[in-house]
Amino acid sequence: MGELEKVFGRNAQLVVLEYLIKTRGTTTYLSGIAEGTGLSHSSVSRVMEPIIAQNIVKKGKMGKQIRTFTVNEENELAKLLIRFHEDLSKLLSSQ
C-alpha cells in the first residue's frame, strides 16, 4: 500500500500517480504502469488522460504505437506533488 493510498484510499488515479512519482526520472509505458501497479491496462489508460491534461506527466511515442510517459518535473503541480509525497513518506515512516 502506497503512502497516498494510506491517506486518501485506493483510487486508480492515485495509484498510477504514486507509481509515476516513485519511478520519476524514468520513461515507462501503459503496460509497464499496469504491471507495476497491479491495475488493468484499460484502467491505467483511462486515468492517464487527466494527469496528462494537467501536464503532470509528459506523453511521448516509441515507434508507431507505443505511448511513453514520464513525470514532468518542470511542472509546478508535479513538483508540489513530489514534495508532498516525500513529506508524507517521511511522516508515515516515523510513526
Residue position matching grid coordinates 484499460: 42
**How far is the CA of 1 from the CAs of 15, 38, 42, 55, 66, in angstroms?**
9, 11, 21, 26, 28
Question: Which residue did the predictor score with more confidence, 62 or 34?
Answer: 34
Task: Establish if 56 belongs to a structural domain.
Answer: yes
Quote the pTM value: 0.84
Please count the structural domains in the chain: 1
Domain holding 26, by residue range, is 3-89
Task: Establish if 50 belongs to a structural domain.
Answer: yes
Task: Establish if 68 belongs to a structural domain.
Answer: yes
CATH label of the domain that carries residue 64: 1.10.10.10
Task: Establish if 41 belongs to a structural domain.
Answer: yes
Task: Establish if 45 belongs to a structural domain.
Answer: yes
Task: Establish if 95 belongs to a structural domain.
Answer: no
Beta pairing partners, 71: 57
Ramachandran angles phi, psi of 69, nearest 5°: -140, 145
Task: Establish if 14 belongs to a structural domain.
Answer: yes
How confident is the model at residue 1, as a pLDDT? Answer: 63
Which tens digits make up the pLDDT trace of 22-34? 999 999 999 999 9
Task: Establish if 31 belongs to a structural domain.
Answer: yes
